[in-house]
A and B are shown apart, each in its own frame.
Chain A
Amino acid sequence: MNPCQHFKKHIGKYCEGDLDPLCLKKLEEHLRVCSRCRTLKDNIEQMRICLKQLPDVKVSEGFNLLLRERIRREAIGKSPGTYSTGGRLLIPAMGIALLVLIIGIGVSDQNSSLTSGSLGYRTVAGESEGDFLPFQGKIQYIIEELPSASAVRLERRNDSREPSNSDSMVGSHPPVRVRAIPVSF
């Protein structure tokens, strides 16, 4: 093995003072005559200093609170569904919910007795009857239950069989019930 290769192989031990005396003597003799290996040694030593001096990142203030919440949720058997994981759980749920809503709205458009504005969306978080689901902006709700479009259609069909005037139809139509639970972090 050429002396530079030999030095490269043992530079780790050399820097950490982990070499046997014979090997150390050999490497030091080589260092005296080889500027390339000297530079390599200096660079590695300097790099190790830089690595040790890398400043620590600061942990978020809400870390403990969030952990407590995750543990609490785990204890009651709910999946954590954190937003910080990139919404891995929320995004598919939102997608499905949105799709069902679009179908629901499409169905309501076809039904002349209903206008889209007459659909009542109930959000548990806001407790405001008639509000639309806050799908825009930040994702901050876990969708708990959502009726399928066919269930909505079936409900409507049942309603239309009942004798009633068109005005009361709008009012008596059961709203699409969506239960949205705000996540607390």
Chain B
Amino acid sequence: MLNISTTSSSTPSDEELIARFQDGDTYAFEQIVMRYKAPLVNFVFHFLGSRIDAEDVVQETFLRVFKNKHLYRNIAKFSTWIYTIAGNLAKTELRRRKRRRVLSLSKMGFEDKEYDIPDFLSSPDQVVDGEMKETKIRNEIQQLPFKFREVVILRDIKDLSYEEISRILKIPIGTVKSRVNRGRLRLQKRLRYLLDQ
């Protein structure tokens, strides 16, 4: 019997790779890793702002794919499935960070008060260019409330369709569109001084 992947084009689709992996072909898993590691690390990086943490989350994502390969059903796109896993893990990491911050703040006595280091990028008077502009944009993305951040990242950075975002986040397309719009307006407000230059 002919294998489906051998009859199709030379580059197997994600769905073909995961099917092969489900049949025990670990080389197919390696190909999935090669295909998705950079897009996923970049996707998670926009949430967490740290490459090391992003890589850690993506490692965990692949580990879960490896362990739960049988849970994937060929009714959804593989990319939707893996982005959902990575997005949920990034969310968990953010929640964990928030808890940790609250905890350390509640432990902080008067004497221990931490003083904020002034952010040289936060002054609109600064001339911002190149790398600084990039950093500023990344920082402002992270300041967005999570529900806006995730849709803006998926739509405007990862270039995913509204349908795909709707499937990943399990929310109606109308809600995705409205959140994208509100997210863009908020981000634009914060980046206005950069964009006017």
A residues at B contact (CB < 8 Å): 8-13, 40, 42-44, 46-48, 50-52, 54-57, 59-60, 63-64, 66-67, 70-71, 74, 80, 82, 84-85
List B residues at the A interface (Cβ < 8 Å): 30, 33, 37-38, 41-42, 45, 51-52, 54-56, 59, 62-63, 66-67, 133-134, 137-138, 141, 152, 156-157, 159, 177, 180-181, 184-185, 187-188, 191-192, 195-196
- Give the distance to chain A from B57, nearest Cβ to Cβ, in Å: 10
- Bound Cα distance A57, B159 (Å): 17
Instruction: Give the shortest distance, in Å, between A14 (CB) and chain B (any CB).
Output: 10
A71 near B54 with CB under 8 A, answer no
Known: A47-B195, A54-B157. A12 touches B184 (CB 8 A): yes
Given contacts A70-B59, A71-B66, A74-B67, contact A11 B156 (CB under 8 A): no
Query: Which A residues are in CB contact (< 8 Å) with B137?
Result: 50-51, 54
Q: How far is the CB of A10 from chain B (nearest CB, A)?
A: 8
Give the Cβ gap from B92 to chain A, nearest Cβ, in Å: 12
Chain B residues with CB below 8 A from A60, complex form: 51, 55
Q: Chain B residues near A55 (CB, 8 Å)?
A: 134
Instruction: Tell me whether A63 and B63 are in contact (CB under 8 A).
Output: no
A56 touches B42 (CB 8 A): yes
Given A70-B59, A74-B63, does the pair A51, B38 have CB atoms closer than 8 Å?
no
Given contact pairs A51-B137, A54-B157, a sample of 15 additional A-B residue pairs in the complex whose CB atoms are under 8 Å apart? A10-B181, A13-B177, A43-B196, A47-B184, A47-B195, A48-B156, A50-B133, A52-B156, A56-B42, A59-B38, A59-B41, A63-B41, A67-B33, A70-B59, A84-B56
Assembly CA distance A59 to B37 (angstroms): 8
- Chain B residues, Cβ within 8 Å of A11: 181, 184-185
Secondary structure at the B interface, as helix, strand, loop or mixed, is helix
Contact (Cβ within 8 A) B37 A63: yes
Would you list 17 pairs from A and B whose C-beta atoms are within 8 A, ordered by A residue? Answer: A12-B177, A44-B185, A47-B188, A50-B133, A50-B195, A51-B141, A51-B156, A51-B157, A59-B55, A60-B51, A63-B55, A67-B59, A67-B63, A70-B59, A70-B63, A74-B63, A74-B67
Q: Which residue of A lies closest to B40 (CB)?
A: A59
How far does the alpha carbon of A128 sit from the alpha carbon of B134 in the complex, in Å? 50
Say yes or no: A56-B38 contact (C-beta < 8 A), given A64-B33, A84-B55.
yes
Tell me if A57 and B42 are in contact (CB < 8 A).
Answer: yes
Task: Please indicate the chain B residues that have their CB under 8 angstroms from the CB of A63 in the complex.
Answer: 37, 41, 55, 59
Q: Which chain B residue has the least Cβ–Cβ distance from A11?
A: B181
Q: Roughly how many angstroms separate A48 CA and B180 CA in the complex, as a whole number?
A: 11
